[in-house]
Amino acid sequence: GNSVLQNFAGQPAVTVDGYRVEIGANIGTKADAQYALEQGAEGVGLLRTELIYMAADRWPDEEEQLAIYRDIIQAMDNKPVIIRTLDIGGDKALPYLQIPPEANPFLGYRAIRLCLDRQALFGVQLRAILRASAFGAVQIMFPMISCLDEWRQARSLVEEMKDQLRAEGQSFAEDIQVGMMIEVPSAAILARQFAQEVDFFSIGTNDLVQYTLAVDRMNEKVDYLYDHFHPAILALIGQVVQAAHAEGKSVGMCGGMAGDPQAAPLLLALGLDELSMSATAIRKVKFAISRLELESCRNLLADVLQLSTAGEIRMKVEQYLTRKDIR
């Protein structure tokens, strides 16, 4: 019950045989940060900054954003915080941003595409994040990157903003880490090329599943097809982890799969360095990991990779977890 799980909040996520994975929280506000810390978050793997924009009635300016980021960093006790730049469009709207109706909003004008089109607004956010980096271990992460050009443009905009701040005598962390989400299949497929240029990856399975399986993540009529145990998803994750590690880069996961205790044995075996999830999932995932051995997770993964449907994989994993008494 809850009291058993409570013991796991303050502990690291370590397997029986001593293999450790970092546990982060997905948050949007300072209140979320405080709760995440209570639940045992070791950092923030995903700060969804669009929640800050959605709560405002006009574009939040640099000082306003800086104050919010600084509050969150301080609430997190100076643990690492990955700030994701504005991920608007798709299912998320802003009252003060008129986007003409689109036939396919999830394939349209959203996230990094919108930001690169409105560089003045994007620059404000990057300056605020950079200035926040003077107060803690901040990292910058771009959403929805689908090609190298987008990554390079966004990355060089960070350098431009650093130059501005330097010229103004503003402080920021010169060595701030800049990474990207892997949530578009093209980025997963080209992970090796991206890995040469980024500081880190974080796999966003919510969108990666949607785009890889061509299943709208909001449409209940097709949600029986939406499954992160699909062998194509496991193959992409494995490829991304290998690409990152081959270039000496770390790779986390911040989509819903990271917070699924049933996925934990596969994610450990696949080699994810960090799992970031909603705060409510942290103790359950830490508990599940505490009952696993890396060696047996690797055997399970090898078996699973021989299977060809999500249903077969799910059944195999459930059998394994039942034997470990993890439900």
Q: Which residues bind ligand PEP (CB under 6 A)?
A: 46, 48, 87, 183, 204-207, 254-255
Judged by CB under 5 A, does residue 32 bind Mg ion? Answer: no
Q: Least CB distance from residue 305 to ligand PEP, whole Å?
A: 22
Binding residues for phosphoenolpyruvate: 48, 84, 206-207, 217
Q: Which stretch binds Mg ion (CB under 5 A): 4-12, 206-214, 224-232, 263-271?
A: 206-214
Q: Least CB distance from residue 28 to ligand PEP, whole Å?
A: 10
Residue with the closest Cβ to Mg ion? 207
Task: Say which entry of Mg ion, ligand PEP, none residue 24 contacts (CB below 5 to 8 A, set by partner kind).
Answer: none
Q: Least CB distance from residue 249 to ligand PEP, whole Å?
A: 19
Q: Least CB distance from residue 183 to Mg ion, whole Å?
A: 5
Judged by CB under 5 A, does residue 50 bind Mg ion? Answer: no
List, by residue number, the catalytic residues: 254
Q: What is the 3-state secondary structure (H, E, C) of the chain?
A: CHHHHHHHHCCCEECCCCCEEEEEEEECCHHHHHHHHHHCCCCEEEEECHHHHHCCCCCCCHHHHHHHHHHHHHHCCCCCEEEECCCCECCECCCCCCCCCCCCHHHCCCHHHHHHHCHHHHHHHHHHHHHHCCCCCEEEEECCCCCHHHHHHHHHHHHHHHHHHHHHCCCCCCCCEEEEEECCHHHHHCHHHHHCCCCEEEECHHHHHHHHHCCCCCCHHHHHHCCCCCHHHHHHHHHHHHHHHHCCCEEEECCHHHHCHHHHHHHHHHCCCEEEECHHHHHHHHHHHHCCCHHHHHHHHHHHCCCCCHHHHHHHHHHHHHHHCCC
81 vs 294, which CB is nearer to ligand PEP? 81
Q: Which stretch binds Mg ion (CB under 5 A): 63-71, 102-110, 123-131, 203-211?
A: 203-211
144 vs 161, which CB is nearer to ligand PEP? 144
304, with CB counted inside 10 A (0-12, 13-18, 19+), is: buried
CA–chain centroid gap for 207, Å, is: 11
Task: Say which entry of ligand PEP, Mg ion, none residue 85 contacts (CB below 5 to 8 A, set by partner kind).
Answer: none
Binding residues: 48, 84, 183, 206-207, 217
Q: Which stretch binds Mg ion (CB under 5 A): 158-166, 204-212, 234-242, 263-271?
A: 204-212
266 vs 294, which CB is nearer to ligand PEP? 266
Residue partners of 97: CB distance under 8 A and separation at least 6: 88
Judged by CB under 5 A, does residue 204 bind Mg ion? Answer: yes
Task: Say how far apart CA 18 and CA 313 lie, in whole Å.
Answer: 26
12 vs 108, which CB is nearer to Mg ion? 108
136 vs 204, which CB is nearer to ligand PEP? 204
Task: Say which entry of Mg ion, ligand PEP, none residue 258 contacts (CB below 5 to 8 A, set by partner kind).
Answer: none
Task: Say which entry of ligand PEP, Mg ion, none residue 260 contacts (CB below 5 to 8 A, set by partner kind).
Answer: none
Q: Least CB distance from residue 60 to ligand PEP, whole Å?
A: 18
Give me the residues that bind Mg ion (CB under 5 A), please. Answer: 183, 204, 207
